[in-house]
C-alpha cells in the first residue's frame, strides 16, 4: 500500500494495486457518509476497437445500454432494488469516456451492500429477453433527452464542432443504433473493456485502509484478458464543421452556448485546467465587470456556466447562458475575450481570482461524493487531483495569457442557440 499526502489541505490518499491489477484508492474522512465509485474506462465514444487482431464495431449507445443492463441478475433480482432495500443510495452513469457505478451508505450497511455491488459489476447476465425488454426503456430516455433544451444545445454544439469524433453522437445512441444491440454485442464490449487494467475503484469515508483493502480484494473475481485492446478513432480535422446552429423548442427564454474547439495535446493538463478556470472567472464570472454590466442592463439574470472537456481525442471550452437578447450577449462576450487579449489581465484581479479558486478547491474536499467522483474522473485523465494544489503555486499571468491566445481562436468558435417557438 502506498500513500500520497498533501499537507496543505491535510488529505492523505492510500493506493493499492490489487492482485488482478485493478487500482484501488482510499481517502479516509471522519464523516458518517461512506462512498464508493467503480469506474470503467469505457464510454460512448469507444464504439470501434481491436481485440488482438480482430477489429470490432459495436452500435452507438452500447456503453450506456450496458450500464442499464448490469443491474439485472440471473436470479431475477435487480441489484439497484437490492441496494435500495439495504438503505444505501445507489446509482450509475455513462459519459463520453467512462462508465461508473456507485453507492453512498449512511447506515453502517457498507459491507453488506459491497457484496451486491461487486457481484453485479463483475457478473453480467444478458439474454435475448432482458436485452429486448430494456430497449423500450432506453428509447423513452432518448426521447426525453431530445426534449431537454440544455442537452439539445450541447449536442448541437458538438455537431457544429466535430466532423468525425464520436463525441458528436448522443451518449445513449439513437433509436436506430440501439435496435442493433444484442446480448452478443453487449458481451463483446463487456469482455473487451470491463477488465481490471481499464478500471479503478475509489472509496471515501470513515475507513481504515488496512481493513478495507482485504474486504474488496476477497470480493474481486475479474481477471485481465490475455489479448490486448486498442481503441480506434478517426483523425479529427482542426477546423469546425459550421459556425452556428439553431433550434426551436418550447422554452420560456432562449439559451445559448459559445464553444471553442481546442488542440488535444497538452504538456501540463492540470495547469491548463486552472488557467481556464481563472480566465472564465475574469471574463464573465459573477464578480467580473462584463457580467455586472450585462446583469444591470437586464441581458443576463444569472452567471453563465463554463465547461472545459478534454480527453486524448477531443478538447473544447463552452460558455452557456440564457438571454432574450442572446445575439447581443454573445457579441459582448466575444468582445470581452478580444479586449482581454489586447489589454492583458490586471495583476490584482489575477491574484484575487487565483485565491478565490484555491479556496473553492479546498472546500470541495468536504464532501465524500465530490471527492470520490473527482478522483475517478481524473484517474482516466492520468491526473492526481491533489496535484492541483501544487500547480496553483506556479500558475502565473503569462501562462494564463498564453492559454487565452491558444484556446479562444475566432476561427474555431461555434455558437449553438435554442430559441423559443
Does residue 342 sit in helix, strand or coil? helix
C-alpha 28, offset from chain centre = 23
The residue from 11, 16, 55, 67 that is catalytic is 67
Helix ranges (H only) for 257-345 are 269-284, 289-296, 326-343
Phi, psi at 3, each rounded to 5°: -125, 140
| Residue 67 annotated to the active site | yes
For residues 189 and 57, give the distance between their C-alpha atoms in angstroms, rounded to a whole number.
9
For residues 235 and 219, give the distance between their C-alpha atoms in angstroms, rounded to a whole number.
41
Q: Kindly give, in sequence order, each residue whose CB lies less than 8 Å from that of residue 215, ignoring residues fewer than 6 positions away.
A: 111, 114
Is the Cβ–Cβ distance between 349 and 400 less than 8 Å? no
For residues 189 and 207, give the distance between their C-alpha atoms in angstroms, rounded to a whole number.
34
Q: What is the dihedral of CA 132, 133, 138, 141, to 10 degrees?
A: 150
Is the Cβ–Cβ distance between 275 and 395 less than 8 Å? yes
For residues 254 and 256, give the distance between their C-alpha atoms in angstroms, rounded to a whole number.
7
Structure-block grid coordinates of residue 321: 447562458
Is the Cβ–Cβ distance between 161 and 241 less than 8 Å? yes
The burial of 406, by beta-carbon neighbours within 10 Å (0-12 exposed, 13-18 middle, 19 or more buried), is given as middle
Q: What angle do CA 204, 32, 91 make, to 5 degrees?
A: 55
- Active-site amino acid positions: 67
Amino acid at each position: 500500500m502506498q500513500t500520497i499526502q498533501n499537507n496543505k489541505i491535510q488529505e492523505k490518499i492510500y493506493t493499492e494495486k490489487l492482485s488482478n491489477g485493478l487500482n484501488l484508492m482510499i481517502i479516509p474522512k471522519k464523516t458518517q457518509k461512506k462512498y464508493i465509485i467503480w469506474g470503467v474506462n469505457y464510454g460512448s465514444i469507444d464504439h470501434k476497437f481491436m481485440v488482438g487482431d480482430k477489429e470490432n464495431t459495436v452500435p452507438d449507445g452500447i456503453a450506456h445500454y450496458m450500464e442499464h443492463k448490469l443491474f439485472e441478475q440471473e436470479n431475477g433480482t435487480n441489484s439497484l432494488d437490492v441496494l435500495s432495500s439495504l438503505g444505501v443510495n445507489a446509482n450509475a452513469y455513462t459519459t463520453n469516456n467512462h462508465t461508473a457505478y456507485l453507492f453512498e451508505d449512511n447506515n453502517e450497511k457498507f459491507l453488506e451492500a459491497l457484496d451486491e455491488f461487486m457481484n453485479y459489476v463483475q457478473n453480467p447476465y444478458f439474454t435475448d429477453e432482458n436485452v429486448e425488454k430494456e430497449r423500450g426503456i432506453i428509447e423513452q430516455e432518448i426521447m426525453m433527452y431530445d426534449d431537454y433544451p440544455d442537452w439539445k444545445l450541447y449536442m448541437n454544439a458538438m455537431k457544429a464542432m466535430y466532423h468525425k469524433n464520436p463525441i458528436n453522437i448522443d451518449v445513449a445512441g439513437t433509436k436506430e443504433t440501439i435496435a442493433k444491440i444484442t446480448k452478443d454485442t453487449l458481451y463483446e464490449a463487456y469482455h473487451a473493456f470491463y477488465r481490471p487494467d481499464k478500471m479503478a475503484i475509489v472509496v471515501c469515508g470513515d475507513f481504515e485502509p488496512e481493513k478495507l483493502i482485504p474486504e474488496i480484494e476477497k470480493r474481486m473475481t475479474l481477471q485481465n484478458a490475455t489479448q490486448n485492446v486498442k481503441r480506434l478513432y478517426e483523425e479529427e480535422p482542426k477546423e469546425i464543421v459550421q459556425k452556428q446552429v439553431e433550434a426551436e423548442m418550447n422554452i420560456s427564454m432562449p439559451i445559448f452556448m459559445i464553444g471553442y474547439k481546442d488542440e488535444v495535446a497538452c504538456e501540463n493538463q492540470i495547469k491548463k485546467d486552472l488557467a481556464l478556470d481563472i480566465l472564465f472567472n475574469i471574463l464573465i464570472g459573477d464578480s467580473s465587470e462584463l457580467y455586472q454590466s450585462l446583469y444591470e442592463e437586464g441581458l443576463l439574470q444569472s452567471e453563465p456556466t463554463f465547461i472545459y472537456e478534454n480527453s486524448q481525442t477531443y478538447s473544447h471550452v463552452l460558455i452557456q447562458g440564457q438571454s432574450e437578447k442572446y445575439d447581443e450577449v454573445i457579441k459582448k462576450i466575444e468582445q470581452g475575450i478580444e479586449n482581454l487579449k489586447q489589454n492583458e489581465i490586471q495583476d490584482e484581479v489575477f491574484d484575487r481570482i487565483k485565491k478565490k479558486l484555491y479556496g473553492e478547491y479546498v472546500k470541495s474536499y468536504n464532501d465524500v461524493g465530490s471527492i470520490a467522483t473527482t478522483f475517478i474522473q481524473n484517474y482516466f485523465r492520468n491526473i492526481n487531483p491533489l496535484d492541483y494544489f501544487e500547480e496553483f503555486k506556479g500558475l502565473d499571468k503569462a501562462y494564463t495569457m498564453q492559454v487565452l491566445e491558444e484556446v479562444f481562436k475566432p476561427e474555431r468558435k461555434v455558437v449553438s442557440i435554442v430559441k423559443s417557438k
